[in-house]
C-alpha cells in the first residue's frame, strides 16, 4: 500500500490521559498536514510540515497539542491531558502536487 497510513484507526481514552497518533505519508511527498474533523463539519487545519520543519500551527492547536516530523518522513501528533472536546477524527494528508489523505484516527475521550 503506497497511500498515507494512520495509526491507530480508533482510540478510546479517558479524560486526562495522553494519546499519540502516527502518520506515514507517501514517501516522496515533502508536505504533511494534520487536520481535525468533528461531526457535521469540514476538516480544520491544525499544522503543516515541509520536510521536517513545522511551518505553521493553527490557533486550534493549544499547548496540549504537539506534532513532530523528526526525519521528514512519518509524523506524530500528541495530545496531552485529553478533554472531551478533543473527540474528533484526526486526518493526516501528504502532498507533492495534490493531496492524499489517510483514513484518519477517530479519537473518543470518555
CB burial readout 30-57, b (16+ within 10 A) else e: ebbbbbbeeeeeebeebbbbeeeeeeee
- The answer to whether 27 contacts another protein (rule: CB under 8 A) is no
26 vs 89 by CB, closer to another protein: 89
Asked if 25 interacts with another protein (CB under 8 A), we say no
Is 102 an interacting residue with respect to another protein (CB under 8 A)? yes
Pairing of strands 10-13, 105-109: parallel
Q: Is 103 in the site for another protein (CB under 8 A)?
A: yes
Q: Report the distance separating Cα 77 and Cα 23, nearest Å.
A: 8
* 8 Å CB contact between 72 and 51: yes
Of 26 and 80, nearer to another protein (C-beta) is 26
* Interaction site with another protein (CB under 8 A): 33, 35, 40-45, 48, 55-56, 89, 91, 93, 95, 98-99, 101-104, 106
Amino acid at each position: 500500500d503506497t497511500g498515507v497510513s494512520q495509526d491507530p484507526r480508533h482510540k478510546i481514552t479517558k479524560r486526562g490521559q495522553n494519546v499519540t497518533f502516527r502518520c506515514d505519508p507517501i514517501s516522496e511527498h515533502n508536505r504533511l498536514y494534520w487536520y481535525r474533523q468533528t461531526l457535521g463539519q469540514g476538516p480544520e487545519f491544525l499544522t503543516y510540515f515541509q520536510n521536517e520543519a513545522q511551518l505553521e500551527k493553527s490557533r486550534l492547536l493549544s499547548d496540549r497539542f504537539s506534532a513532530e516530523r523528526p526525519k521528514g518522513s512519518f509524523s506524530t501528533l500528541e495530545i496531552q491531558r485529553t478533554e472531551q472536546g478533543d473527540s474528533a477524527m484526526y486526518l493526516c494528508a501528504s502532498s507533492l502536487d495534490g493531496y492524499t489523505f489517510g483514513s484518519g484516527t477517530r479519537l473518543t475521550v470518555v
